[in-house]
Structure 1
Amino acid sequence: MPEEQLFKTEERVTRAEITEALRDAADQIESGSVRLANDTEKRTVTVPENPRFEVELERLTDSETGEQRYELEYEIRWTK
């Protein structure tokens, strides 16, 4: 299935800023409409009443340096 990325943002922020963003996202998800925005683009999407929700924690190891990093992902997905 071809993938089309519609929006992405990534930046280093404090835990407090992440918490604020997740609380705002939770309020938007509860209302059924989520607005995504950065400096160059804006998107709004309607979230259905019963989407699939996935939480994933991964530990990744750099093959060259052996350095480990963690990724914690919250994913909401649905079909149209």
Structure 2
Amino acid sequence: MPEEVLFKTEEQATRTEIADALRDAADQVESGDVRLTTDTEERTTSVPERPRFEVELERLTDSETGEQRYELEYEIRWTK
């Protein structure tokens, strides 16, 4: 199934800024309507009552440098 990215943003932020964004996102998910915005883009979607929720923590190692990085992902998924 081909993937189509409808919205994406990535930026450096403090833990406090991330926690604030996650609290705001949680309130929006609970309401059922999520609004995603940047300075140049806006996207709104409705989240169903019982979507699938996934939490994943990964450790990735760069094959050239051996440097390790971690990714903590929260994912909400549903079909239409």
TM-score band w.r.t. shorter chain: over 0.9
**Structure 1 equivalent of residue 48 of structure 2:** 48
Aligned-residue offset at 1:39:
1.3
Aligned alpha-carbon RMSD (Å) = 0.3
Give the aligned partner of residue 18 of structure 1.
18
Aligned to 2:4: 4
For 1:39, the equivalent position in structure 2 comes to: 39
- Corresponding residue number in structure 1 for 2:61: 61
Where structure 1 has 5 or more consecutive residues not aligned to the other structure, the ranges are: none
SS of 1:16's equivalent in the other structure is helix
What are the superposed Cα offsets for residues 23-72 of structure 1, whole Å, 9 maximum, x if unpaired? Answer: 00000000000000001110000000000000000000000000000000
Residue ranges of structure 2 left out of the alignment (5+ in a row):
none
Moved over 6 A (4+): none
Using the size of structure 1 for normalisation, the TM-score is 0.99
Equivalent residue number for residue 28 of structure 1: 28
How far apart are 1:4 and its partner, in Å? 0.4
SS at match of 2:34: strand
Count of equivalent residues: 80
Tell me, what secondary structure is at the counterpart of 2:22? helix
User: Secondary structure at 1:26's aligned position in 2?
Assistant: helix
TM (normalized to structure 2)? 0.99
